[in-house]
Amino acid sequence: MNDPHFRTETDPLGTLPIPADALYGIHAWRARENFPDSERFSHAWYKAVGMVKLACFNTIEKFRRSSEKTFGKTLPIQMMGPEKVTALQKAAREVMAGKHFESFIVPAVQGGAGTSINMNVNEIIANLALQKLGKAPGAYADIDPLEDANRYQSTNDVIPTALHVACLQRLLVLEGQINRLRHEIEKVEAAHRNSLRIAYTQMQQAVPSSLGRLFSTYNEALSRDWWRMSRGQERLKVVNLGGSAIGSGLASPRFFVMEAVQELRKLTRLPITRSENMHDATCNLDPFVEVHGFLKAHAVSLEKMVNDLRLLDSDLVGKNDIHLPRKQVGSSIMPGKVNPVIPEFVISSAHKVYANGLIIDSLSAQGVLDLNAYLPIIGHAFLNSIELLIAANQTLTANLFAGLKVNVNAAEEKLFHSPSIVTALLPFTGYHQAALLAAEMKESACSVYAANDALSLIEKETLETLLSPGNLLKEGFSLHDLMDGNR
């Protein structure tokens, strides 16, 4: 082919024309043709592959220096020269920084256990390194995507390790976002610790409680989620880098097998460790199943919370205990309508996390013998869940809790007009007198105070004491409470 705009690349299946200045090559192009999905590969995972490659090149250079120092320059294997390694290191740093992502043309959903991911990055790094040496992309006689960019590596250790790195990095971001949301909720909880409300069980009025208590339940759930993110990082810090094809390290120098993870730990500043059984770490993906369960639990916590808040702000409940911020126009035909779009976004995101969990669970079980071919879509689903939850926490912090308003008067009015409030009087009045009060409240549609005035069952001051926030929010009652009420 003589067209100057293209170069010809060759693989065992034949030749293909590739744009002359393209950083990708024949392997990525075949994958693009075979997997015509348009969903983009994770940028975080792409950057992590660059980081793993850099760790490998650093280890290769250390291996050369160590070998030459011990055995001299006449060695039984051909070492990669320092000029070539330096060019590859520079190229890997650019991928690690997220550059040249437009040259990563392999889609997220693919076959092949991640070989297409690895080869696309190998081609980008090799061609970048060639440019740094003043060569044209495709001059693989000088730097080859397989011979050099993939030296001592396998798709089966590089790509899973990069996925672990990407997940650890994004879990740290999610952990921080959960903490920020918790702090916003804590502000509401502290401000309304003694603001009374009626609690609801099975969507029916139940017993007195407080708004602070309600928001404390959200804070506690998120505290557990925050802890789960930390536990998830512990599980995912174990990697199989150096294990080569099946975890045995075959065709890799023992120096590389032992040192590559150490180099990666330095680069990432993450507590990454080499698996004690790299064969297991290569063929089993249950850590992703386990940790995604933590993500799913967090999605459940968020969905439950926003469902509550959406209901309390709904027109269905009459006088609202809370008011969510009005964020955007809600209808193209109904003027003035504003919808709870932030809760709806969070609920939608939560259900996408649940769906991702099904993908991860079912395809992790599809690993056969020594490898799971479905790592790419498992990793894509896992990272997608993290990003959805990061976004959910961000928008809840900035667009919901930052502008949340609590209607203390409305909440207290509902409480004191609810016949359920007489439950708090049972230790003092007994069941039957309390039932009389409740019946009068229903009959006259009045407050507990008005009903008591009509029936003269309890002295006014005693009733006010019994129904004060201090008494209503105690954990249980003591005999002192009853004796004080009878005085």
Active-site positions read: 331
Q: Mapped to the 3 state alphabet, what secondary structure does 306-366 carry?
A: HHHHHHHCCHHHCCCCEECCCCCECCCCCCCCECCHHHHHHHHHHHHHHHHHHHHHHHHCC
User: Rounded to whole angstroms, how far apart are CA atoms 102 and 92?
Assistant: 15
User: Rounded to whole angstroms, how far apart are CA atoms 36 and 52?
Assistant: 27
User: Rounded to whole angstroms, how far apart are CA atoms 120 and 104?
Assistant: 6
- CA–CA distances in Å: residue 381 to residues 109, 117, 150, 163, 169: 10, 16, 26, 11, 16
Smallest CA-to-CA distance from 10 within 25, 22, 23 is with 25
Neighbouring CB atoms inside 10 A of 57's CB total 29
The helix or strand, by DSSP H or E, that contains position 458, with its residue range, turns out to be none
Smallest CA-to-CA distance from 393 within 126, 182, 138, 189 is with 182
> Sign of the CA dihedral 178, 183, 184, 185?
positive
Smallest CA-to-CA distance from 274 within 287, 262, 289, 282 is with 262
Smallest CA-to-CA distance from 143 within 97, 98, 80, 92 is with 80
Smallest CA-to-CA distance from 133 within 92, 83, 89 is with 83
- The tokens for 485 are 């009420």
DSSP3 helix / strand / coil % (the chain, rounded to 5): 60, 10, 30
